[in-house]
Amino acid sequence: MQLLWSGVFLVPGVGLIAVFVVVPILLTAWISLHQWSMYTPLTQMQFVGLANYQEVLSDPTFQQALLNTFIYSGVSIVLTVPLAVFFGIFLYRPAIRGRTALRMVLFSTYMVPTVAVAIVWGYLYSPLYGPFNEILSFLGLPSQPWLGSTSEAMVSLIILNLWQTLGYYTVLVLAGLTQIPQDYYDASAIDGAGLLGQTRYVTLPLLRRTLTFVVIIAGINTLQVFDPVYVLTQGGPVNSTNVLTYDIYQTAFQFGRAGAASAMAVLLLIVLAIVVPALLHVARED
Amino acid sequence: MHRRKRSATREFVATQRRARFSRLTLVVGQYILLTVASFVALFPLLWMVASSLKTPAELQVLPPVWLPAHPNLDAFGTVFSVIPYGQAFLNSFVIAAGDTVAIVLTSIMAGFVFAKYQFRGRDLLFYAVLATMFVPTIVTLVPLFHVIQAMDLVDSYPGVMLPQLANAFGIFLMRQFIRGVPDELLDAARVDGASEWTVLWRIISPLLVPAVATLVLFAFVYQWNSFLWPLTILQSQDKFTVVLAMSRLLSYTSSIQFQNVVMAGAVISILPNTILFLFLQRFFIAGLAQTGIKG
């Protein structure tokens, strides 16, 4: 009886996920072994073994995209996570008035569509009319080319991401903090621990699972960055902001090379399949 | 003897004063931090609103004007005439709301099974579902496009919505919440002759309000903001979502004098998420804490 009901309740949710996530993953892997143009019927598909992987891995554009993605992701995580912990602890302390307001302000940036964020920041970064350069010149600093230069475009995208997602990760840290029993703080206060001591010996160790979770979510989100690149830089200037998802999208939907695009997608999946379980493993160890 | 006592008292008072002083610096420091953080978070949004209220003349002045001298709402009308923004708003709403309702229903059902039923391979299946949470959209994009094309659903509501009707995060969230519902409650209903269907929708569901609020917020915001999948599947302008329309708006009006129109579009695009957030935010932190993302 229970088995019947299990079926009834599981089929809509799990069935949809199977059809629209699991099967397409297998299809992507299958396509990656073939030479196939997006614009020709399936029957035109030609088996080529691992040739797509060979081609993609030796392609300098793809190598650059891979490197750019790792830089974007790595720098974003290294900046976001400590700041989220800092603001989380700061906002968790009950002594401050206005922290509910700041909590909402911080989170509000996450509600804005990334495309809208990108459009607004495109104007903020604008070399001529942009407020950022205006502020710099007010401070007596030289104007910056921001998105227009190969050396600053990636940094500009990372700052945009930091601004948009910090509030979300801070809220995740806050959720983790509410799970730490007050007794631990009381006990450490009796032992004479100040704010720094408490943070070091109570908060951070007990926050470990939350932090792993935050790193994983931030990793997944940043490894598949697409919207700001599509809206603001189209991978330029000179490939300096070309990232994996953008490169795959272009390869498939602009150039129609479904086989090569699928090989790139599988490589991205392999990276995630190594990194995510490794992080989860680290989190479980005590 | 006497003197020593007095100097001890003096020292005590001094320590107190120093402690009070350092506590004062701490409090002032906190408020400075609070103000600076709020300003940094709000600046781009405030600047967006200010720009949407400027006149084309003000937008072309150098050095740029920070605040509009005569704030006007012209741009908010223009944006609806440059592109079918009203239609886009409706499209986004149908797609995001439809997906959200479906996600809530499929998640409650599957979450119930993973929380309360026992069968062989249950946990394995659950972890398999959970793993799909980490699969980027781009990985499935090419085959999904062809699947939707084979179903003749390219450039349609169902085509955009179909792959989004269930997701692992929702199932995970509901499972975590339903695990907290005591078994005795379910068994009591079963003894009274309630079917499993009734147990789920009459006994458990009313207890899930914070979880559903959290999921509604996440699902709606995610679908409303979603870009890559609609970009792939929607082609004609009258089917565009708000986010798609906005990305086109930018390319139509790359000239600086239309910046107010683009910014007005951006301001409007934020409203539904903001309104939903204001309604649901009191459930929100509690809801997140339940997902087991605990320390």
All residues of chain B having their beta carbon less than 8 Å from the beta carbon of residue A109 are 41, 45
Which chain A residue has its CA at the smallest distance from B288's CA? A175
Could you report the per-residue pLDDT of B214-269, keeping only the tens digit for each? Answer: 899 999 999 999 999 999 999 999 999 999 999 988 776 667 778 888 999 999 99
Q: pLDDT at position A138, please?
A: 86
* B295 — pLDDT class (breaks 50, 70, 90): very low
Q: Distance (Å) from the C-alpha of residue B251 to the closest C-alpha of chain A?
A: 9
pLDDT at residue A103 in the model? 72
Residues B131-175 have pLDDT tens digits of: 999 999 999 999 999 999 999 999 999 999 999 999 999 999 999
Chains A, B: CB pairs < 8 Å: 260
Are the beta carbons of B293 and A226 separated by less than 8 Å? no
Question: Per-residue pLDDT for chain A (286 aa), expressed as one digit of tens each?
Answer: 778 888 899 999 999 999 999 999 999 999 999 999 888 877 788 899 999 999 999 999 999 999 999 999 999 999 999 999 998 888 887 666 666 777 777 778 888 999 999 999 998 998 887 889 888 988 989 888 899 898 899 999 999 999 999 988 998 898 888 888 878 888 888 887 777 788 878 888 888 888 998 999 999 999 999 999 999 999 989 999 999 999 999 999 999 999 999 999 999 999 999 988 888 887 776 5
**How far apart, in whole angstroms, are the C-alpha atoms of residue A200 and residue A193?**
10
End-to-end alpha carbon distance in chain B: 54
Show which of residues 239-278 on chain A sit within 8 Å of chain B, judged by CB atoms: 244-245, 248-249, 252-253, 258, 261-262, 265-266, 268-269, 272, 276
Cβ of residue A14 closer than 8 Å to a chain B Cβ: yes
Give the best residue of A22, A119, A121 to mutate against chain B (max B CB count within 10 A).
A119
Q: Which residues contact A248 (CB under 8 A, 6 or more apart)?
A: A261, A264, A265, A268, B138, B141
pLDDT at residue B294 tops 70: no
pLDDT per position as a tens digit, B64-81: 778 888 888 888 988 888
Query: Rounded to whole angstroms, what are the CA distances from A87 to A171, A263, B19, B149?
Result: 9, 40, 24, 46
Which domains, from first to last, does chain A contain? 50-284 (1.10.3720.10)
- For the whole model, what pTM was predicted? 0.89
Q: What residues have CB less than 8 Å from B207, skipping those under 6 apart?
A: B177, B181
Amino acid at residue number B31: Y
Q: What token pair was written down for B137?
A: 């959209």
- Does position B38 have pLDDT exceeding 60, yes or no? yes
Lowest average pLDDT, out of A116-125, A174-183, B11-20, B35-44, goes to: B11-20
Interface with chain A: mutation pick from B135, B196, B222, highest number of A CBs within 10 Å: B135
Q: How many CB atoms lie within 10 A of CB A190?
A: 8
A6 and chain B: CB distance < 8 Å anywhere? yes
Tracing tokens 């600093």 back to the chain, one arrives at: A141
CA distance A11 to chain B (A): 8
Residue type, B168: A
Indicate whether B293 pLDDT > 50: no
3-state percent breakdown (helix, strand, coil) of chain B, nearest 5? 80, 0, 20
B209 touches chain A (CB under 8 A): no
Nearest residue of chain A to residue B227 (CA atoms):
A227
pLDDT tens for each residue of B105-121: 999 999 999 999 999 99
